[in-house]
Amino acid sequence: MTLLSPNDSAVIWGSALITLGILGAAYTYIGYPMLLWVLSRFAPHPNPVRSTEFCITLIIAAHNEEASIREKLEATLKLDYPADKLQILVASDGSTDRTDEIVREYGPRGVDLIQVQARKGKTNAQNVAVASARNPILVFSDATTVYDSSALQFLAAAYLDPRVGAASGRYDYFDPAQGSLAASGSKKLWGLENWIKSMQSRIWTLSGCCGCIYSVRRELYTPLSPDTISDLVQPLHVFLHGSRVVFQENAQAWEESTRTTADEFKMRVRVATRGMMGLLSIPELLVPWRHPWISFQLWSHKICRWSIPLFLASLFMGSAILASHPGFLWLLLAQAAFYLCALMSLAVPRMRRSRLFSLPLYFCTINTAFLVGMFNVVCGRQFNVWQPTRG
């Protein structure tokens, strides 16, 4: 029997860590999207249609949104959808500013205020508001989201197919500050997300919706725990009812991006933590032999994405172990240079104007947020409530 020498053992461990890191990151960012693209080539590409056949209840979640709620309600009342088929509810989650007062001004124009006294977060506010919904289709929005005038028509059209139980619109970020690092990174990241959603929908069903523009059949709505993120978990419950979740790309909305790296980091930590906890609330969907397609989607699109910081750490440690070999030394130095660019951009704001420094910082920001999210889940820390950071 031949025992491995310490050097042989180091080579095996280093090679294994590097392989895990490269394959994990490559599959997440390249392999999975390309696999979806190939599969979608064999699926039908339906033409976008509009509909006003269904009565809709639009639920707007708000907390201390006095700066934006009036503009939101004015825009909502101008949406291209029959007024007699549209119920508008504002779920005010323990607002302490003038939000409720402003919403009451729109009572004569058909806007109803739902006051949620005990602030428990967006998901809980939506649960409370749904109890007052009169119509068979529920649409969920945020107070800062701008809808295209025809967005509701495209969402409604999804339900012409009786197999559809939920439909997500598309949203993109806009940057009023022009040139914000967080905005630039958000646009690129969410552009990829929208593309993935379109591929998922063509093949069969989404693994999650866009939080500020998505809809559900009232009969399929499931009241959720306040600590779960509704735009991920609600569609998964719809899937458990045997219905599809589709992406209506022409149902367009826009959100103002975060303006600073700190705001972006806080937002990503909150979303990642709630997403992970939400996914853990329905573990049966992660079992491949019970739900093959949705399990594949969740592992590939959610869990692998959240695991990127672990893949990066594996790659770095493997490179460090094998740094005595010239080829691996260069791999280690390349990673160190990338992270150094991120740190320099963080320390010197002027450097963020260059993509050489700004893109590494944004990449590290979101992946550090994922890592913090994992830590929060392990420690049981929750993010039920949110604080507006834009405007």
Q: At what angle do helices 261-280 and 355-379 cross, to 10 degrees?
A: 40
Query: Across the 391 residues of the chain, what is the mean pLDDT of every consecutive 10-residue run?
Result: 60 92 96 94 86 97 94 96 96 94 95 91 94 97 94 97 95 67 63 88 89 95 90 93 94 83 87 91 92 93 96 96 88 94 79 68 92 92 63 41
Residue where the block lists tokens 């619109």: 169
Nearest to 165 by CA among 118, 220, 124: 220
Residue 272 CA to residue 292 CA, distance in Å, equals 24
Helix (H) or strand (E) segment spanning residue 93: strand 86-93
Cα–Cα distance list, 347 to 159, 199, 286, 344 (Å): 50, 39, 40, 5
pLDDT at 146: 92
**Which sequence spans correspond to the domains of the chain?**
1-42+304-385, 56-259
pLDDT at 391: 41
pLDDT at 7: 67
pLDDT at 374: 95
pLDDT at 325: 84
Residue 275 CA to residue 209 CA, distance in Å, equals 12
| Residue 280: how many other CB atoms lie within 10 Å | 11
Rg (CA), the chain: 23
Residue 360 CA to residue 383 CA, distance in Å, equals 27
Judge contact between 169 and 213, C-beta under 8 A. yes
Residue 79 CA to residue 86 CA, distance in Å, equals 10
Cα–Cα distance list, 160 to 153, 154, 197, 295 (Å): 11, 11, 20, 27
- Sequence letter at residue 210: C
pLDDT at 171: 86
Q: Name the CATH superfamily for 56-259.
A: Spore Coat Polysaccharide Biosynthesis Protein SpsA; Chain A (3.90.550.10)
pLDDT at 142: 93
First to last CA, the chain: 69
DSSP class of residue 282 equals S
Residue 139 CA to residue 242 CA, distance in Å, equals 20
Residue 116 CA to residue 99 CA, distance in Å, equals 12
Residue where the block lists tokens 């309600």: 73
Residue 217 CA to residue 55 CA, distance in Å, equals 11
Judge contact between 146 and 254, C-beta under 8 A. yes
pTM equals 0.89
pLDDT at 352: 61
